[in-house]
Amino acid sequence: MVNASNDQNKDIALLLLRLGVGIIFIVAGWGKITGIEGTQGFFGEIGIPLPGLMAWIVAIVEFVGGILVLVGAYIRIPAILLAIIMVVALLTTKVIPGESFSAYRLDLMLLLASAALALMGSGKFSLDDKLGSK
């Protein structure tokens, strides 16, 4: 009985984690898509190579990846890609000497949450579970 309860708690926790991460990335990705010129300009300013192309790649990965995470479909691939985006964001714009922790705490949390989803999978309440793919 205890194992069943623990499994259900784990699945509920993964659902909550997916909802939070998915919604944040969907909104962030949509903002980049609808303001792509600004995103391209910002990427150019911080020295991202091929800023025009990279802005589109990041925007689409965040938006589509956020949707896939939200519904729990093919979770490991988008979770890994989103974690990589967060590593790059932290290294290029967020963790700056003298900057306070509050400047990058959300990005760090999104990195860790994405990595956790990549490791744990999407759980029972997901398309992966319904489709039989984990």
In angstroms, rounded to a whole number, what is the distance separating the alpha carbons of residues 125 and 11? 7
Residue 59 belongs to what domain range? 22-131
Q: 40 in a domain, yes or no?
A: yes
Asked whether the predicted pLDDT for residue 1 surpasses 80, the reply is: no
Asked whether the predicted pLDDT for residue 134 surpasses 60, the reply is: no
pLDDT of residue 45: 94
pLDDT of residue 97: 72
Q: 70 in a domain, yes or no?
A: yes
Residue 110 token pair = 């999104």
In the chain, how many domains are there? 1
**Model-level pTM?**
0.90
Q: 15 in a domain, yes or no?
A: no
Block residue for tokens 């956790």: 116
Q: 55 in a domain, yes or no?
A: yes
Query: DSSP string spanning 67-114?
Result: HHHHHTSSTHHHHHHHHHHHHHHIIIII--TT--GGGTHHHHHHHHHH
pLDDT of residue 56: 99
Q: 45 in a domain, yes or no?
A: yes
User: pLDDT tens digit string along 8-29?
Assistant: 999 999 999 999 999 999 999 9
Q: 17 in a domain, yes or no?
A: no
Which stretch of DSSP H or E encloses residue 20?
helix 2-34
Q: 49 in a domain, yes or no?
A: yes
Asked whether the predicted pLDDT for residue 7 surpasses 90, the reply is: no
Q: 118 in a domain, yes or no?
A: yes
